[in-house]
């Protein structure tokens, strides 16, 4: 079937739009240092998320599910690259179509030969030569940008996971806010409370939250990069730090590092809100103080009980502290729960529901016994 030349030129115009769309997505994703929406990357995300939801639908064991989901971020990056190259080669094929002597197949051969720098096909004429040169540059630049993009991703991932790993000894695995306060006060059974180290912790996590807010909204696949340990999660760790700050401010205000704790809370809920909105969730800039929270008062009393086990200096009645705690948690609970459910984070205590109903994991604690002394084996 011979396609009229006018129809080929219409196809060439559509091809030029496809090339521009691919370049817009590449530049917005890999170069512009802020979140830039693109239907192409959103489509890639949706396809990958749908595929992984189907694959993990019947996997009830969380550890096995986590092992499968560990490849999801890499799959998104590879699919993005394939989508960009596929859209570009389709566009250049259509652009070359009016000049192709043997129809669309010849144009595809010319475009593919140029984009992948194979050089086995070279269309005659000055204009087709220019188009093939631009197509060759497109293939090289897109691949080079993706390669240069990976070190940036992994640098941000390493910064994030270093703080998450350091928190594991202080807040348990998976992390839990009350456990963080209890262990900080207990100080490995040393008999000396280390609550005075909380200002430094909260200041560090305030900076961490700012870093994650910038990197994870600019490079959205980072949200789905999972921690090396299956019981760890960046969103659960941040939630634990925020809960600990809210708890100490409401239950033991005399012991609380008020300014660092408040700044950490502000930075933390801003981070969670920005990431959740970048993922497409409807999270308001400022939470409604009357909206309430999902966490129950009984769960709050469970936290109080854990803190009292180690003699934490609680100075307020839990019933009086509860409304103030709700006032803090309402700012970040909705965003944290939405992100945790979306990435299927480890089902930790106080971290909300998941698509697969799973009982929350309690923080793992070291075996009981006295700390070891020189020349003696620790009792277990």
Q: How confident is the model at residue 120 (pLDDT cuts 50, 70, 90)?
A: low
pLDDT for 358 equals: 86
In the predicted structure, residue 377 carries a pLDDT above the cut 80: no
- 324-333, 357-366, 369-378 — which is least confidently predicted? 369-378
Across the range 151-161, mean pLDDT stands at 95
Q: What does DSSP assign to residue 219? A: S
Count each helix (H run) and each strand (E run) in the chain, helices first. 13, 0
Structure tokens belonging to residue 265: 């809370």
**N residues, the chain:** 380
Please compute the mean of the pLDDT values over residues 150-176 and round it to a whole number: 94
Please give the average per-residue pLDDT across 117-144, as a whole number: 84
Q: Using pLDDT thresholds of 50, 70 and 90, give the confidence band for residue 121.
A: low
Distance set, CA 221 to CA 95, 157, 169, 290 (Å): 32, 11, 27, 33
Reported confidence tier of residue 1, pLDDT bands at 50, 70, 90? low
Tokens standing for residue 196: 């005075």
Averaged pLDDT for residues 306-321: 95
- Distance, CA of 109 to CA of 130 (rounded, Å): 16
Res 372 pLDDT > 70: no
Assess whether pLDDT exceeds 90 at residue 380: no
CA-to-CA distance for 155 and 157, rounded, in angstroms? 5
Residue 279 confidence class, pLDDT cut points 50, 70, 90: very high
pLDDT of 376 higher than 80: no
Q: Does the structure show a pLDDT above 50 at 316?
A: yes
Burial 84-116 (b: 16+ CB within 10 A, else e): bbebbbbbbbbbbbbbbeeeeebbbbbbbbbbb
The average pLDDT across 105-109 equals 88
Local confidence band at 357 (pLDDT 50, 70, 90 cut-offs)? confident
Judge contact between 107 and 94, C-beta under 8 A: yes
Q: How far apart are CA 98 and CA 301, in angstroms?
A: 74
Q: What is the phi/psi pair of residue 143, to 5°? A: -65, -40
Per-residue pLDDT tens digits for 190-249: 888 999 999 999 999 999 999 999 999 999 999 999 999 999 999 999 999 999 999 999
DSSP string, 99-154: G-TT-HHHHHHHHHHHHTT--S---SSHHHHHHHHHHHHHHHHHHHHHHHHHHHHH
pLDDT confidence band for 72 (50 / 70 / 90): very high
Arithmetic mean of pLDDT over the chain: 91
Statement: residue 332 has pLDDT above 90? yes
Residue 152 tokens, joined? 């940036």
Q: pLDDT over 90 for what percent of the chain?
A: 73
User: Exposed/middle/buried for 60, CB within 10 Å: 0-12, 13-18, 19+?
Assistant: exposed
Please state, in angstroms and rounded to a whole number, the distance separating the CA atoms of residues 256 and 314.
11
Q: Which helix (H) or strand (E) is 32 found in, with range?
A: none
The pLDDT value given to residue 375: 44
Which value, to the nearest 10 degrees, does the dihedral of the CA atoms of residues 171, 175, 176, 181 take?
Answer: 10
At residue 290 the predicted structure's pLDDT band, cuts being 50, 70 and 90, is confident
pLDDT at residue 5 in the model: 83
C-alpha distances out from residue 309 to 9, 168, 261, Å: 77, 20, 23
**Lowest mean pLDDT segment, chosen from 34-43, 80-89, 284-293, 328-337:** 34-43
Residue among 20, 35, 63, 22 nearest 220 (CA): 35
Q: Would you give the DSSP letter of residue 353? A: -
pLDDT for 52: 96
């Amino acid at each position: 079937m011979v396609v009229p030349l006018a129809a080929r030129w219409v196809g060439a115009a559509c091809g030029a739009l496809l090339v521009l769309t691919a370049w817009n997505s590449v530049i917005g994703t890999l170069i512009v240092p802020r979140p830039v929406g693109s239907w192409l990357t959103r489509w890639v995300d949706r396809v990958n998320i749908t595929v992984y939801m189907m694959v993990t639908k019947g996997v009830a064991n969380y550890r096995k599910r986590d092992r499968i989901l560990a490849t999801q971020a890499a799959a998104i990056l590879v699919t993005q690259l394939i989508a960009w190259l596929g859209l570009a080669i389709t566009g250049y094929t259509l652009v070359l179509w009016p000049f192709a002597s043997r129809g669309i197949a010849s144009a595809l051969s010319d475009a593919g030969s140029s984009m992948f720098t194979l050089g086995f096909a070279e269309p005659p004429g000055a204009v087709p030569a220019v188009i093939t040169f631009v197509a060759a540059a497109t293939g090289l630049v897109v691949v080079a940008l993706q390669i240069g993009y990976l070190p940036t991703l992994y640098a941000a991932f390493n910064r994030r996971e270093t703080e998450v790993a350091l928190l594991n000894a202080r807040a348990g695995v998976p992390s839990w806010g009350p456990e963080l306060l209890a262990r900080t006060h207990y100080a490995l059974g040393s008999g000396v409370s280390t609550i005075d180290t909380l200002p430094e912790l909260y200041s560090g996590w305030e900076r961490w939250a700012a870093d994650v807010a910038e990197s994870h909204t600019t490079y959205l696949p980072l949200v789905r990069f999972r921690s090396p340990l299956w019981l760890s999660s960046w969103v659960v760790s941040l939630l634990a730090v925020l809960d600990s700050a809210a708890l100490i401010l409401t239950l033991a205000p005399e012991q609380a590092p008020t300014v660092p704790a408040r700044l950490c809370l502000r930075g933390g809920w801003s981070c969670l809100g920005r990431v959740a909105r970048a993922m497409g969730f409807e999270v308001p800039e400022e939470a409604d103080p009357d909206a309430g929270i999902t966490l129950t008062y009984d769960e709050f009393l469970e936290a109080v009980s854990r803190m009292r086990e180690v003699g934490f200096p609680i100075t307020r009645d839990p019933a009086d502290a509860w409304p103030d705690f709700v006032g803090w948690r309402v700012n970040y609970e909705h965003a944290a729960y939405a992100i945790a459910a979306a990435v299927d984070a480890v089902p930790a205590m106080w971290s909300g529901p998941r698509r697969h109903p799973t009982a929350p994991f309690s923080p793992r604690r070291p075996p009981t016994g006295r700390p070891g002394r020189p020349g003696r084996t620790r009792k277990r």
